[in-house]
Amino acid sequence: MTGIQILLITGVLMITLYFFQRMKKAVFSVVLVTLMGALAILLILQPELTNQIAHKIGVGRGADLVFYICVLIFWYVVMRLYARIRKLEEHITELIRNQAIANAKVEPTDSFETNQAR
C-alpha cells in the first residue's frame, strides 16, 4: 500500500465517520454514504479497476471517468442545495408575512374619529 492510498483511505473514513455523526437518523443517507465509502476504498486499493471500467464504457482513463462522475455528483448536490435554499426562503417569507399580519394594529384615521364623534 502506497502513501497516497493510506492518505486517501484515511480521508474517506474520516468523511464517512463525520457524516455518520451528523446524520444518525437518516437511514437512506447513511446506507448511501456507506456504499460510496466502500466503493471509494475499493477503487483506491485497486486503481486498475477504474481503468478497466473506463475502457468498457468508452472513456480513455480511469481518472477521467472518476472526474466526470465527480462533476455530475457536484452538479446534483448544487441543484439540491439550491432547491432547498429556495424552499427555505419561501417558508421564511410566509412565516414573516403571517407574523406581520397577526401583529398588525389598525390605527384609527382622522375621518373615522370625526365620524364617531358626531
Q: How confident is the model over 58-73, as pLDDT tens digits?
A: 999 999 999 999 999 9
Q: Please, are residues 19 and 31 in contact by the beta-carbon 8 Å criterion?
A: no
Q: What is the pTM of this model?
A: 0.68
Please, how many CA atoms are within 13 Å of residue 11, restricted to the half-sphere of its CB? 8
**Is the CA virtual torsion 57, 62, 63, 69 positive or negative?**
positive
Q: CA 46 → CA 7, 38, 75, 98, distances in Å?
A: 15, 12, 27, 57
Residues 61, 54 contacting (CB under 8 angstroms): yes
- For residue 114, pLDDT over 60 is answered with no
CB atoms closer than 10 angstroms to residue 50: 20
Task: Give residue 108's pLDDT.
Answer: 64
